[in-house]
Amino acid sequence: MSEQAAKGQGAGRLNLLHRPRRNRRSEWARRLVREHRLDVSDLIWPLFLIEGSGLQEPVPSMPGVFRYSVDLAVEAVAQAAALGIPAVALFPNIDPALRDERASQAHHPENLVCAACRAIKADVPEIGVITDVALDPYTSHGHDGLLEGDEIVNDATVAVLVAQALNQARAGADIIAPSDMMDGRIGAIRAALDAEGFEQVQIMAYAAKYASAFYGPFRDAIGTKKTLRGDKRSYQMDPANTNEALREVALDLEQGADMVMVKPGMPYLDIVRRVADEFGAPTFAYQVSGEYAMIMAAAQNGWLDGDRAMMESLLAFKRAGAKGVLTYFAPRAAEMLNRKIELL
């Protein structure tokens, strides 16, 4: 090779009009042409609750994630608000003695979620509170609906979900988020909320929720792992399906959902893209417990750079068309974004 060619000039040079690498040569140029950006406003923080006070209990399968008693949950949420996180999503781990076949606690006015909701709305009114509508934290069998024989019964479950949603709205929930996948629940909940004067309460529908192995650590966190009888494939979606997701989203939007969600997140980015393109409705993705656990476990083993993997995975949701992401990384990511660290 001649000296000139070695310098990238002269005889060995390709006659290229287009050299895409020009736009990647420097940090400032990469920033200039970057198409998508993660923002603190894109983050929703799911957090776990337990009874008691002064408690912050680690979830073993989710390093860095805790179950908080209401008093400490309020403090954690205040910190999230200070970081600029727009909303939190609450998930309770209730005393097993309070769980029964009928999920009675789900619509008890003094239940853990309602207590947390009232306390957060009183102390941190500037943050949005999202409450989960589904019966799994409250049933003795760990299902999202009522069990009759081997069957999760749809319509009887919807009646309980409506009671649960109203109970949460009365406690001050801003967004009701049904994650149960029963048919017709969005319409029933919307009608009941409106009839009670809660027409301003929003609904974020877990519209395309798949029967996924990635929920494992979450079931640990809310204490349903050991109790869950069978699986959830008769109501959560088959991971093999795409068109069905569009039908589910269409139905939830027709029934009055203000926002829709795809769940899990990373393995389902194709669904996020199709839903976002097809409907143009605010579309969210849930980076679920198993996705979080995978990244954390690999990082703890020194197999990948956890912060980089976190930022890259979160940005991927934006690139796929999501308006925002529910992620256990929310506080960590918000801190970095506030320090203008993108790690790309």
Sign (positive or negative) of CA dihedral 208, 212, 216, 219: positive
Quick check: is 340 catalytic?
no
Q: Under the phi-then-psi rule, with left for phi > 0, alpha for psi from -120 to 50, and beta for the rest, what region is 82?
A: alpha
What are 40's two structure tokens? Answer: 């603190």
Binding mask 219-248 for ligand PBG (x = CB under 6 A): x------------x----------------
Nearest C-alpha neighbor of 227 from the set 53, 61, 96, 47: 96
Which run of H or E residues covers position 132?
A: strand 128-133
User: Applying CB under 6 A, does 210 fall inside the site for ligand PBG?
Assistant: no
When binding is defined by CB under 6 A, the residue of 45, 198, 210, 218 that contacts ligand PBG is 218
When binding is defined by CB under 6 A, the residue of 215, 235, 268, 284 that contacts ligand PBG is 215
User: Applying CB under 6 A, does 168 fall inside the site for ligand PBG?
Assistant: no
User: Applying CB under 6 A, does 179 fall inside the site for ligand PBG?
Assistant: yes
Quick check: is 7 catalytic?
no
**93-96 LR contacts (CB < 8 Å, sep 24+):** 93/48, 93/49, 93/50, 93/67, 93/137, 93/221, 93/222, 93/223, 94/51, 94/137, 94/138, 94/223, 95/51, 96/223, 96/227
CB of 197 to ligand PBG, least distance (A): 27
User: Applying CB under 6 A, does 289 fall inside the site for ligand PBG?
Assistant: yes
Q: CB under 6 A: which stretch of 25-33, 115-123, 168-176, 215-223 binds ligand PBG?
A: 215-223
Choice between 86 and 264, CB closer to ligand PBG: 264
Q: Report whether 198 contacts 225 (CB < 8 A).
A: no
When binding is defined by CB under 6 A, the residue of 81, 152, 285, 288 that contacts ligand PBG is 288
CB of 328 to ligand PBG, least distance (A): 7
The alpha carbon of residue 284 and the mean position of all alpha carbons in its chain are separated, in whole angstroms, by 8
Choice between 64 and 123, CB closer to ligand PBG: 64
Which of 225, 232, 263, 323 is catalytic? The answer is 263
Give the number of C-alpha atoms closer than 13 A to the C-alpha of residue 235, restricted to the C-beta side. Answer: 29
What DSSP string describes 73-95? Answer: HHHHHHHHHHHT--EEEEEEE--
Q: Report whether 311 contacts 38 (CB < 8 A).
A: yes
Binding mask 33-62 for ligand PBG (x = CB under 6 A): ------------------------------
Which run of H or E residues covers position 315?
A: helix 306-319
What are 91's two structure tokens? Answer: 């998930």
Number of residues near ligand PBG (by CB under 6 A): 11
199 is in an annotated binding site: no
CB of 312 to ligand PBG, least distance (A): 19
Q: Report whether 61 contacts 300 (CB < 8 A).
A: no
Residue corresponding to tokens 């736009």: 23
Choice between 239 and 342, CB closer to ligand PBG: 239
Which of 121, 209, 232, 323 is catalytic? The answer is 209
Q: CB under 6 A: which stretch of 11-19, 36-44, 211-219, 301-309 binds ligand PBG?
A: 211-219
Residue corresponding to tokens 């009675």: 104
Q: CB under 6 A: which stretch of 23-31, 79-87, 131-139, 182-190 binds ligand PBG?
A: 131-139
- Cα separation, 134 vs 110, in Å, equals 17
CB of 289 to ligand PBG, least distance (A): 3
Residue numbering of the annotated binding site = 248
What positions carry a catalytic annotation? 209, 263
Residue numbering of the annotated binding site for Mg(2+) = 248
Q: Give the binding site for ligand PBG (CB under 6 A).
A: 132, 134, 136, 144, 179, 215, 218-219, 232, 288-289
